[in-house]
Amino acid sequence: IEFDKENIKRFTEEDIKKIQDSVDGAFGRPHIANYLIEKGIVRDKQEAFDKYLVKCDVPKYPLSLAEASELIRNAGGILVQAHPNDPNGTSLVSITPDLDEQARIIKEYMLDYIDGVECWHSRHDAKTTAFYIEFAKKHGLLITGGSDCHQKPLLMGTLDIPDWVAEQFRH
């Protein structure tokens, strides 16, 4: 991070350790932004990103779903449609809250390129979970459950996902 222009002291090993200690999960730029706020260097996350963290961003090269699917599968990975109905995140809700319409979108645009659907998610209700379990079974997709949570309040550990979900990956 370039602080020299504003005579701000560079991060020390101790600073990095403090940031890492505050992280529950993967370390990333949002955690650095929080630390910059805590130290009074910036007012909010937007300022942190605008002034300091954009340069930390690795350029992204857009791939079509077909290209991404091929790369991931050739590397031995699988593709799962994550939290399709999360009202607070990046999901199909931003297009439509209607589950049948979400299913149509997945069938029309994604089905050939995904291997599973995240049916359990901390922000899915029981109706959504049941809907996506049925959808996955009907289309021969893996049924997964999410334990990650990228937003507050953290809801990790609040789901009771059956053991058979993990067993699908042992074959």
- Residue 79 is encoded by which pair of tokens? 């593709």
DSSP state of 58: P
The structure's pTM equals: 0.63
Sorting pLDDT into bands at 50, 70 and 90, what band is 39? Answer: confident
Q: Are 154 and 24 in contact (CB under 8 A)?
A: yes
CA terminus-to-terminus distance, the chain: 44
Q: Which domains does the chain have, with CATH numbers?
A: 4-56 (no CATH), 65-170 (3.20.20.140)
DSSP state of 116: E
**Contacts with 93 (C-beta within 8 Å, 6 or more apart), sequence order:** 85, 86, 87, 102
Sorting pLDDT into bands at 50, 70 and 90, what band is 103? Answer: very high
**pLDDT at position 158, please?**
64
Please say if the pLDDT value at position 135 is more than 80.
Answer: yes
